[in-house]
Amino acid sequence: MGQGAINPAAAGVIPWWRNRRLIPWLVQGVAGLALLVLVAFLVGNLVRNLTSAGLLLSWSWLGNPAGFDVSETLLPFNAGLPYWRALAAGLVNTVRVVLAGLVGATVLGTLVGVASFSSNGLLRRLARVYVELIRNIPLLLQLVFWYFVVFLALPGGREAIQLPGMVLAKSGLFLIRPELVNGVWQAPLRLTVEFGALLTGLVTYTAAFIAEVVRGGVASVSKGQWEAARSLGFSPLQTLRRIVLPQALRVIVPGLNSQYISLAKNSSLAVACGYTDLYSVAETTLNQTGRAVEVVLILLAAYLVIDLLISALMNGLNQLVQIRER
């Protein structure tokens, strides 16, 4: 290649290294080649190492009986069922906590976000303190705090906190006419404290971020809108609901998307508080089977699908709120 450079360029001909169209392609070619070499190198090592460990990629183990139990599943599961059923049960558990978390975080986040525009100074400041407090403490720390310090300190048995129609005990939240049988609470609908701790942690944490998104959205609506609405005789609440929020939503919805996705991903911290989610089942599966690569692939794919679903949903919603522009 070096010889081309020595050759004096003929008059009027652009030397190739100055060629505006060629250079980018050359750079790309070299970068692409390097990338290809890197990937080939990594995959080559992977195959060689896996072969020597006798763990070459295979999926047949998914059909073997799992041998371990998964608690609080919506899908019926026992230890005799295959691994893929265990993973599916874990996935359902993840989806369950994510869905509940999305609803909870949206409600709480909106409340806190709107509270920061309250005419009440105390409420306004409290909303700020909440956001600043929650955002600056790691989620994992909050989760273990909720589980080990708060939820496990709940009283059990007869001393459980009894409210009309529900009971909050160490073993969980019992809804719809709970009754005490042999010192154990029972009810048709029951949420465990593991689920409760994870949900509480995810909701309070994500709500702080959503509150900021909501605040930004509401702040983006010009002050004139408020004043115009007030002068037309709307009450503050009406103004917020009918005038300001619909406009703010255009700014809020795109911002919510990334918060929702991060909530879904953060749900994988469930292992820290004993909730059996997809990651937790995957970890146990890896341990029983030693199939690290396959398990990681399943994990990555599952979360990617969840993220894409949320994104698709939010894109649809976004189009719905943006369409009002005339």
Partner 1 sequence: MNTPGSSPLQRLRRELFASPLDGLISLLLIGFLLAVGLAVLRWMLFQAQWAVIQANSTLFAVGRYPVDQQWRLWLLTSLLALASGLSWGLLRRLPHPGPAWPRNDRLAVGLLIALAVVAPLALQLQASVQLRWWLITASLITSRWAAGRWGQAIPPALRRWIPLIWPLLYLAGMVLISGGLGLVSVPPSEWGGLLLTLLTASFAILLCFPLGVLLALGRRSELPLLRGASVLYIEFIRGAPLITLLFLGQNILGFLLPGGLAPDRVWRAAWVLTFFAAAYVAEAVRSGLAALPPGQLEAARSLGLPMPLALIHVVLPQALRVALPATVGQFISLLQDTTLLSLIGLLDLLGTARTVMANPAFLGKNGEVYLVLAVLFWCCCAALGLGSRALEHRLNPLSSPAQA
Partner 2 sequence: MKRAFRTAAWALALLATPLVGCAPDGGGIQSLKLAGIKGRGTLICGVDGKLPGFSFVNPDGSYSGLDVDICKAVAAAALGDPTKVDFRDLNSSERFAALASGEIDLLSRNTTLTLSRDASGGNGLSFAPTVFFDGQGVMAPKASGITSLRGLAGKPICVESGTTTELNLADRMREIKAPYTPLKFQTGDQTYAAYLQGRCVAVTSDRSQLAAKRTSFPDPAAHVLLPEVLSKEPLTPATVNGDPGWADAVRWTIFGLMQAEELGITQANIDVKLAEATANANQADLRRFLGVEGEFGKQLGLPADFVVQAVKAVGNYGEIFERNVGQGSKLKLERGLNRQWTQGGLIYAPPFR
Give the footprint of partner 1 on this chain (CB under 8 A): 24, 27-28, 31-32, 35, 42, 45-46, 49-50, 53, 118-123, 126, 132-133, 135-142, 144-145, 148-149, 261, 265-266, 268-269, 271-272, 279, 283, 286, 292-293, 296, 299-300, 303-304, 307-308
The radius of gyration of the chain's CA atoms, rounded to the nearest angstrom, is 28
Specify the residue, 5 or 103, whose C-beta has the smaller distance to partner 2: 5
Reduce the DSSP state of residue 239 to 3 states and report it.
Answer: helix
CB of 20 to partner 2, least distance (A): 16
Q: How far apart are alpha carbons 302 and 104 in whole angstroms?
A: 23
Specify the residue, 15 or 65, whose C-beta has the smaller distance to partner 1: 15
- Secondary structure (DSSP) of 145-193: IIIIIIGGGS--GGGSEEETTEEEETTEEEESS-EEETTEEE-SEEE-H
Residues 6+ positions from 153 with CB-CB distance below 8 Å = none
Q: How far apart are alpha carbons 231 and 136 in whole angstroms?
A: 40
Specify the residue, 63 or 67, whose C-beta has the smaller distance to partner 2: 67
Q: How far apart are alpha carbons 267 and 140 in whole angstroms?
A: 10
Q: Is 166 in the site for partner 2 (CB under 8 A)?
A: no
Reduce the DSSP state of residue 262 to 3 states and report it.
Answer: helix
Specify the residue, 42 or 320, whose C-beta has the smaller distance to partner 1: 42
Residues 6+ positions from 83 with CB-CB distance below 8 Å = 61, 62, 63, 64, 65, 66, 285, 289
Binding test (CB under 8 A) with partner 2, winner from 9, 14, 17, 22 = 17
Specify the residue, 225 or 268, whose C-beta has the smaller distance to partner 1: 268
Q: Which residues bind partner 2 (CB under 8 A)?
A: 1-2, 5, 17, 26, 30-31, 33-34, 37-38, 41, 44-45, 48-49, 52-55, 67-72, 78-80, 148, 152-153, 156, 170-171, 184, 193-194, 271-272, 274, 276, 280, 283-284, 286-288, 290, 292
